[in-house]
């Protein structure tokens, strides 16, 4: 009876470093159909083991700046070592128009830029069960110095203050539960009334409706006579 818009949902997932955003997104791939995890573009050189088009789209600084002029990014920023990172529009639009939901795993600064331009986007914030748990996760990763961990931890406090600018918050205290919650949110989003293009009724359904209305009217008239 209902014809829905085929376009997919653009979903932004953010949260402090070490909260498990990447793990949640990778788990969603296993259980969700019509789903694409967006790949960012960067001007930095690939690290060992990284694959172009899989981890990032690796392009030169000159090409990145040219694409900025052409408005080819949903958002972009200059980060560590003056390298550019950005979210390409073309690939995202292709997947959305084909009916895929698209997830952007980006920082809060990038998320707020997208919110200004695309307020209909679904914004989900991932929280740690506690700040103690978060610092434990950062330490156990064993990939960063003490100074960098302290820097990330301080940044996490500032990021958490932005949670009210998101539509949903999910606490990642249990991976399976957190993944199921995000999946449920995305499913519910596809059931929104504003995704309905029109309600279709065939002749048989219309006739049944008319008979029900007529019968209801007859009953009410009969009740009035009895009174």
> What counts of helices (H) and strands (E) characterise the chain?
8, 11
One of 3.40.1390.10, 3.40.50.300, 2.30.30.30, 2.40.30.170 is the CATH number of 2-226, namely: 3.40.50.300
Helices 175-189 & 21-31 angle (0-180, nearest 10): 60
- Give me the residues of the chain with pLDDT under 70, please: 1-5, 80, 142-144, 197-227
Task: Give the pTM.
Answer: 0.78
The pLDDT value given to residue 140: 74
pLDDT reported for residue 79? 80
Token digits of residue 89? 């529009």
């Amino acid at each position: 009876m209902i014809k829905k818009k085929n376009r997919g949902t653009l979903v932004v997932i953010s949260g402090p470093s070490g909260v498990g955003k990447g793990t949640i997104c990778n788990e969603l791939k296993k259980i969700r159909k019509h789903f694409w995890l967006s790949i960012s573009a960067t001007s930095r050189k690939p690290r060992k083991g990284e694959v172009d088009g899989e981890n990032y789209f690796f392009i030169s600084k000159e090409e990145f700046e040219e694409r900025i002029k052409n408005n080819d990014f949903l958002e972009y920023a200059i980060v560590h070592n003056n390298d550019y990172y950005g979210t390409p529009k073309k690939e995202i639009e292709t997947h959305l128009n084909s009916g895929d939901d698209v997830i952007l795993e980006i920082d809060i600064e990038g998320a707020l830029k997208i919110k200004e331009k695309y307020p209909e986007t679904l914004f989900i914030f991932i929280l740690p069960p506690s700040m103690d748990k978060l610092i434990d996760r950062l330490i156990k990763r064993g990939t960063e110095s003490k100074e960098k961990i302290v820097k990330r931890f301080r940044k996490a406090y500032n990021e958490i203050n932005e949670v009210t600018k998101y539509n949903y918050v999910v606490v990642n205290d249990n991976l399976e539960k957190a993944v199921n919650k995000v999946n449920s949110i995305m499913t519910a989003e596809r059931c929104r009334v504003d995704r309905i293009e029109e309600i279709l009724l065939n002749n048989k359904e219309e006739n049944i409706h008319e008979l029900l209305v007529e019968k209801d009217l007859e009953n009410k008239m009969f009740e009035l006579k009895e009174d």
